[in-house]
C-alpha cells in the first residue's frame, strides 16, 4: 500500500500532529510539544493519508544506533488501510539511513491493535514495566517493550 499524502513534520504542521494525536489517544500533546520535538536533534516525523489529507502520523527519535518510536496513530475512520504500517516502514528506512540498527518502543499490554501491528512488522516483546500506565478506569497496566532489528522484515518474509 502507498500513501497518497506524505509530509515530513516541521514547526508549520505541528498543529496537524496535535489534532491527529487528540483523536487517537486519551491524553493530549500540544502543538508546542510537537514543535519542540521537531526542533530536537534526531527527531523525524511524518504525516500520511490515503487522500489529500493527513490521517496518520509517526514521530521517531534516532540516537546513536537506536531509533525510538515516540508516538504513532491513525484516525479511527482510516484504520486498517495500512497507513501505520506504511509510516513505520518508511520511518525505519529513513532511520536506517541515519545510522540506526534497531527500533524500539513501549506499548500498553492491553493495546491489542498496536501489538498486532508491531508483531506483523517483526517486532518482538523483550521487556515489561509492571504498572507503568494507568487506564481511564484507574487500573494499572503493564508496558511491554518491543524491539526489531533493521531493516524490518519484508511483507513477504514476514508472512512466512
* Binding of residue 58 to ligand COA (CB under 6 A): no
Counting Cα atoms < 13 Å in the Cβ hemisphere of 75 gives 15
Size of the site for ligand COA (CB under 6 A): 22
- Known active-site residue 118: yes
Query: Smallest distance from the beta carbon of 108 to ligand COA, in angstroms?
Result: 7
Among 106, 109, 132, 133, the one annotated catalytic: 106
Whichever of 19 and 117 has its CB closer to ligand COA, that residue is 117
- Known active-site residue 66: no
Among 21, 55, 68, 118, the one annotated catalytic: 118
Indicate the SS3 state at residue 26.
Answer: coil
Interstrand relation of 66-74 and 5-8 (parallel, antiparallel or unpaired): unpaired
Best CA proximity match to 117, nearest among 153, 144, 84: 84
Helices and strands of the chain, counted as H and E runs: 5, 7
Residues 90-119: x/- map of binding to ligand COA (CB under 6 A)? ---------------x-x---xxxx-xx--
Amino acid at each position: 500500500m502507498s500513501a497518497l499524502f506524505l509530509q515530513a513534520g516541521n514547526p508549520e504542521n505541528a498543529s496537524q500532529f496535535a489534532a491527529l494525536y487528540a483523536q487517537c489517544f486519551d491524553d493530549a500533546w500540544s502543538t508546542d510539544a510537537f514543535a519542540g520535538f521537531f526542533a530536537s536533534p534526531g527527531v523525524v516525523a511524518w504525516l500520511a493519508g490515503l487522500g489529500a489529507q493527513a490521517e496518520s502520523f509517526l514521530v521517531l527519535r534516532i540516537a546513536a544506533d537506536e531509533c525510538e518510536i515516540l508516538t504513532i496513530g491513525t484516525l479511527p475512520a482510516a484504520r486498517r488501510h495500512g497507513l501505520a504500517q506504511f509510516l513505520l516502514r518508511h520511518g525505519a528506512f529513513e532511520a536506517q539511513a541515519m545510522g540506526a540498527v534497531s527500533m524500539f518502543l513501549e506499548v500498553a499490554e492491553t493495546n491489542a491493535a498496536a501489538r498486532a501491528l508491531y508483531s506483523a512488522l517483526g517486532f518482538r516483546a523483550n521487556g515489561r514495566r509492571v504498572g507503568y500506565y494507568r487506564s481511564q478506569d484507574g487500573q494499572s497496566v503493564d508496558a511491554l517493550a518491543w524491539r526489531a532489528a533493521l531493516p524490518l522484515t519484508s511483507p513477504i518474509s514476514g508472512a512466512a
